[in-house]
Amino acid sequence: MNFVLETVQVLLLSLWFNIEWLIHLLIPRRKKTIRGEVVLITGAGSGIGRLMAQEFASHQTVLVLWDINQDGLKQTAALAQENGAVRVHSYVCDCSSKNDVYGVADQVKREVGDVSILVNNAGIVTGKKFMDAPDSLIEKTMEVNVMAHFWTYKAFLPAMVANNHGHLVSIASSAGLLGVNGLADYCASKFAAVGFAESIGLEMLAMGKSGVKTTIVCPYFINTGMFDGCQTKWPRLMPILKPEYAIKKIMEAILTDQAYLLMPRSILNIVLYLHSILSTKHGLLLGEYLGAFNMMDHFRGRTKKLE
């Protein structure tokens, strides 16, 4: 195709996509049916993972729950059964270990079958200034928050590609889009998770596997306990999200094949846009105004430490 034709085509399509976007502001997108899908959720033993398990269960899915915390898993499995899951399979899996991930993944393939919706949700935070964080915790953060995504994709993506059907959900963070004082290793892991999920999403499209969808979730603080003690300077502008609200939005995004979910959407979009166009001095002024330097000052996290 020649340059003029291709340019006109792109301009017309851009116009159409904008009209489509405006239409969908008024008319919600159709939600897909996921009844009978096999959904694997890592970090299902508490917080967002548990609530997602309950939501997926209500769609009559087969659930595969992974966590390092056996008691938490048991409770989630019971709640998922109550909520209508077709079957629930729970596995203790340490996502920081590649061998554990591959071993348990093989067990899942033998005992349950192919996974068609993979939710990488397990996550940890050190909550320390970088120079105070022990190397072992920094390594674990990278292993759980991103390396585990590599290994779970390696294990479960081939079947999705073969069937041209599946969904890869990455529970990342707004800390995967913007740096935060006091969250250096966490930000590094979440930036990596976002870049990885986005790249694999593109790899699927380039391979013609448009049936394998990607949803990348980037929330601000959610009140699950993981970031207990953290503060937001302007709660009306940047509220700490309620888990129930976050789950509603995450499920909507998955069921409508939304590629990115930023929460709260408007303010994060504005901040990201300004971050990309403002001078460094101006960006820092805005960061200070939004409290980006002090968010972690009173971090406690969970009182019961995760390994």
Ligand X SMILES: NC(=O)c1ccc[n+]([C@@H]2O[C@H](COP(=O)([O-])OP(=O)(O)OC[C@H]3O[C@@H](n4cnc5c(N)ncnc54)[C@H](O)[C@@H]3O)[C@@H](O)[C@H]2O)c1
Report the catalytic residues.
Answer: 186
Instruction: Show the DSSP H helices in 143-242 as ranges.
Output: 148-163, 184-206
Query: What is the size of the binding site for ligand X (CB under 6 A)?
Result: 30
Angle at 215 between CA 142 and CA 47, to 5 degrees: 60
Quick note: the x/- pattern for ligand X over 94-113, rule CB under 6 A, is xxx-----------------
The C-alpha atoms of residue 48 and residue 225 are separated, in whole angstroms, by 10
Measured CA to CA, the distance from residue 68 to residue 284 in angstroms comes to: 39
Specify the residue, 48 or 168, whose C-beta has the smaller distance to ligand X: 48
Q: Which is nearer to ligand X, 171 or 212 (CB)?
A: 171
- How far is residue 49 CA from its own chain's centroid? 10
Cβ atoms of 283 and 226 within 8 Å: the answer is no
Does residue 81 sit in helix, strand or coil?
helix
Binding flag, residue 295, ligand X (CB under 6 A): no
127 binds ligand X (CB under 6 A): no
Strands (E) in 94-240, as ranges, are 117-120, 166-171, 212-219
- Distance of closest approach, residue 137 Cβ to ligand X, in angstroms: 12
Q: Does 152 participate in binding ligand X (rule CB under 6 A)?
A: no
Q: Which is nearer to ligand X, 180 or 209 (CB)?
A: 180
Looking at residue 146, the DSSP 8-state letter turns out to be I
Sheet strands (E) in the chain: 38-42, 62-67, 87-92, 117-120, 166-171, 212-219, 260-263
**Smallest distance from the beta carbon of 59 to ligand X, in angstroms?**
20
Least separation in angstroms between CB 280 and ligand X: 25
Which among 137, 215, 204 is positioned nearest to 171, based on CA atoms?
A: 215
250-279 footprint of ligand X as x/- string (CB under 6 A): ------------------------------
Site for ligand X in 58-77 (CB under 6 A): 67-69, 72
Q: Does 227 bind ligand X (CB under 6 A)?
A: yes
Task: List CB contacts of 30: < 8 A, sequence separation 6 or more.
Answer: 256
Return the residue of 34, 41, 61, 123 that touches ligand X, per CB under 6 A: 123
In the set 40, 41, 48, 194, which binds ligand X (CB under 6 A)? 48
| Binding residues for ligand X (CB under 6 A) | 42-43, 45-49, 67-69, 72, 93-96, 121-124, 144, 171, 173, 219, 221-222, 224-227, 306
